[in-house]
Amino acid sequence: MTAQFRLLVRPKLRRELAMLEHAAASQPGSLRDREFRALKLGLKALAEGREDEYAGKRLGYSASHYDLRDCAELKVPVVPESRHGHDLGPSHRLIYREFEADDGGPPYREAVCFAPRSSDLPFQIAGARLGREVGQRVPELVHLPNHRPTFQRGAAEPTGPPRLPLPPDLRKALAAASNVAPAHGAVMPRPSPGRLAQRRIDKPCSREL
């Protein structure tokens, strides 16, 4: 399927993907192998605009949660989970955001984190990586409607994230990078080791799927 988005992968997630890939190569069929394959497919779905093929929804904010109104989740099945004979649904979450492009090309999607859903771990990781604080509203998101975090099934909520203007930090990082994908591309090519070493750890990185 033709790619519709240029995909950005945050540095920590990119490193986690590399570690999962290494573990998958040495331990075929293991949990890490299944996580690697599921994450790779999830990232590909984001680039191709196929999020509706996964259960997922736009995230929200409450006084006991991070303000993630600019994010959405893919509910990614990795391992079957059940309680008292009841299927608990997809075991992992892939959290992402979406931004307009400044160059007239396809919009960007930024993959923030991928983790098992137990104990709200993906949302805790996403909030920390985005510099958010629990119970604190993000001023830049004040114009967005709030979808309170809910565990209700079948709720009529938006699936994808709101498309926002490219934030200054991402714009600066992309302008500084020499490997920004052309307008017709969706996934940025893998950076060379030399260039990767020169980047600050908090800048978004790209990953070839």
DSSP class of 18: H
> Tens-digit pLDDT profile for the chain (209 aa)?
677 999 999 999 999 999 999 999 999 999 999 999 999 999 999 999 999 899 888 999 988 999 999 999 999 999 877 687 787 789 999 999 999 998 889 999 999 999 999 889 999 999 999 999 999 999 999 898 876 554 444 555 678 899 999 998 888 888 887 454 443 334 443 443 433 333 333 344 444 33
Q: How far apart are CA 72 and CA 61, in angstroms?
A: 12
Whether the CB-CB separation of 112 and 130 falls below 8 Å is answered with yes
* Structure tokens given for 120: 């709200």
Whether the CB-CB separation of 108 and 8 falls below 8 Å is answered with yes
CA nearest 105: which of 41, 166, 160, 148?
166
Cα-based angle 100, 76, 137 (whole degrees, multiple of 5): 50
Identify the burial level of 208 via C-beta atoms within 10 angstroms of its C-beta, where 0-12 means exposed, 13-18 middle and 19 or more buried.
Answer: exposed
pTM of the shown model: 0.79
Which residues is 76 bridged to in the sheet?
Answer: 92
